[in-house]
Chain A
């Protein structure tokens, strides 16, 4: 099946710094990728839809200047958490639809961000 890889799996940073998380589709092309955020013991909340070659679409309440998304190629989307603060600490998960538009998403392993 299709594989989506995220990197890094864990990152710890100081408050005020920026952190970049990469999401790659390894064996297929993804014109669209989805970024989710998951708080401890909570569900996944869709943050934004990343579109190759165009601007991302953000969900209501998600700060686009805080969470910068770039989808520069058909296999790579990046999420940059800018000027991170402790409240940005979370588990971030990306996903991409499979080759056929069946709605099935393939998920990355997730990235645990801890902001000190």
Chain B
């Protein structure tokens, strides 16, 4: 069955530390891949997307993600986290419609 998995429900990192949020997908062929961020009570903001080509994609706010076909993964990274990055992060895949992972809540410690 097609699915999007975010293994980590909640992650806490210290401000200035690096961050990696995991995402795995299970689809017959490589779908389009996205990362979105959601602040409490707000809509979704697109961080970055992968359609094809270079497997390392750069996004807004200093985020990047790497597509690894062999691992069916699309992990999100940031070298140095800021307190304003605290939010809910969703990995999503698109074939005929958009499906979301369960989300990872990021807490940033001072």
Contact = CB atoms under 8 A, between A and B. Distances in A.
Q: Do A and B interact with each other, yes or no? A: yes
Interface of A: 6, 34, 36, 41-46, 49, 91, 93, 95, 102-105, 107-110, 112
B103 A95 contact: no
B44 A102 contact: no
B41 A112 contact: yes
A103 B103 contact: no
Q: Chain B interface mostly helix, strand, loop or mixed?
A: strand
Contact of B103 (A6, A36, A42, A108): A42
Interface of B: 31-32, 34, 36, 41-44, 46, 49, 51, 90, 94-95, 97-103, 105
Given A34-B98, A46-B99, A95-B98, 18 more contacts: A41-B105, A42-B103, A43-B100, A43-B103, A44-B90, A46-B98, A91-B41, A102-B49, A103-B31, A103-B34, A103-B98, A104-B34, A104-B46, A104-B94, A108-B43, A109-B43, A110-B41, A110-B42
